[in-house]
């Protein structure tokens, strides 16, 4: 980062904090920042928070089979079995994007979202109109992975494509079949990334079960300015302990990566 860039960032931050005070806002937040940006903000009094997501990284795999070859024999066998069993009830999978995203498709997906969201998350917050709007405004950036059985869609997962990555967001189902969630949310996303030569799939936070499917822990960074001095001190104290926990948990999970040990050793040599 050049001196000019640092000076500009400093002026932007000063203006933002002044706006915060004038508006009597309690706080200012930035999420998912690259290292130069979060460090610059921390140097101006923002508090640094880390969290964890699970990402699949494309090591230049030409096919999904090539990715499987990089895994330990036990993990490779497990994934093959899960993919086979997920479709064993006569289920087929469609990847829909662009003009494929019709209102009928969104009707089906919204039904999945409401059913699974109500059961798992408590209160779904997206509306049916939301899906129509994104389908109209960014259809080529959406990949909807839909499962079909007996002539109708029964489950689906929504992904967004941006830059060099696939971003998995949420899924839903009105029929429940073993391993179908893994197939739609994880394996199909990996296949899509490989076919389109994308660098990674970001599967979001939570779920150590993603680790066995080739998604490794990645630390994410956010920064937070809190106006009240007492609250800021309390939060800062907590974040010190939380950062230590996130780092320790990430190291522990990374040690359980499903990839072949001999390949890791070859990369280190």
Q: Do 169 and 261 reside in the same domain of the chain?
A: no
pTM score, two decimals? 0.88
Same domain, 226 and 154: no
Mean pLDDT by 10 residues, the chain (269 residues): 63 90 94 92 94 96 98 96 97 98 98 83 86 97 98 97 94 95 97 98 84 94 96 98 97 92 59
d(CA 146, CA 165): 20
Q: Which domain holds residue 237?
A: 3-54+218-268
Is 210 a domain residue?
A: no
pLDDT, position 11: 86
Question: End-to-end alpha-carbon separation of the chain, Å?
Answer: 33
Confirm whether 203 is domain-assigned: no
Q: Which residues contact 72 (CB under 8 A, 6 or more apart)?
A: 258, 259, 260, 261
194 and 69 in a single domain? The answer is yes
27 and 130 together in one domain: no
Predicted confidence at residue 269, as pLDDT, reads 47
Residues 174 and 82 in one domain: yes
Give strand ranges (E) for the chain.
27-30, 47-57, 92-96, 142-149, 152-162, 165-173, 200-202, 216-226
Domain co-membership, 239 together with 113: no
Last residue of a domain, one of 140, 166, 198: 198
| One domain for residues 13 and 128 | no
Length of the chain: 269
Q: Are 142 and 79 part of one and the same domain? A: yes
What integer pLDDT is reported at residue 7 of this predicted model? Answer: 66
Count of the separate structural domains present in the chain:
2
């Amino acid at each position: 980062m050049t001196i000019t860039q640092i000076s500009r960032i400093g002026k932007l931050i000063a203006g933002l904090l002044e706006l915060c005070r004038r508006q009597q806002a309690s706080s200012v937040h930035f999420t998912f920042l690259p290292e130069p940006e979060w460090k610059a903000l921390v140097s101006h009094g923002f508090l640094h928070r880390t969290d964890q997501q699970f990402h699949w990284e494309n090591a230049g795999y030409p096919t999904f089979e090539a990715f499987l070859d990089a895994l330990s024999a036990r993990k490779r066998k497990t994934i093959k079995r899960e993919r086979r069993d997920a479709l064993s009830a006569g289920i087929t999978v469609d990847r829909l994007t662009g003009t494929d995203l019709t209102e009928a498709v969104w009707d089906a997906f919204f039904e999945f979202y409401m059913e699974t969201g109500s059961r798992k998350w408590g209160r779904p917050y997206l509306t049916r109109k939301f899906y129509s709007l994104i389908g109209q405004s960014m259809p080529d950036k959406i990949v909807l992975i839909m499962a079909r059985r007996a002539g109708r869609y029964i489950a689906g997962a929504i992904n967004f494509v941006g830059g060099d990555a696939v971003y998995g967001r949420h899924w839903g189902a009105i029929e429940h079949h073993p391993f179908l969630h893994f197939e739609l949310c994880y394996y199909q996303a990996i296949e899509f990334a490989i076919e389109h030569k994308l660098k990674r799939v970001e599967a979001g936070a939570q779920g150590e079960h993603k680790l066995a499917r080739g998604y490794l822990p990645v630390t994410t960074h956010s920064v937070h300015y809190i106006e009240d001095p007492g609250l800021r001190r309390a939060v800062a104290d907590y974040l010190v302990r939380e950062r230590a926990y996130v780092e320790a948990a990430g190291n522990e999970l990374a040690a359980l990566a499903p990839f072949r040990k001999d390949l890791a050793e070859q990369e280190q040599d």
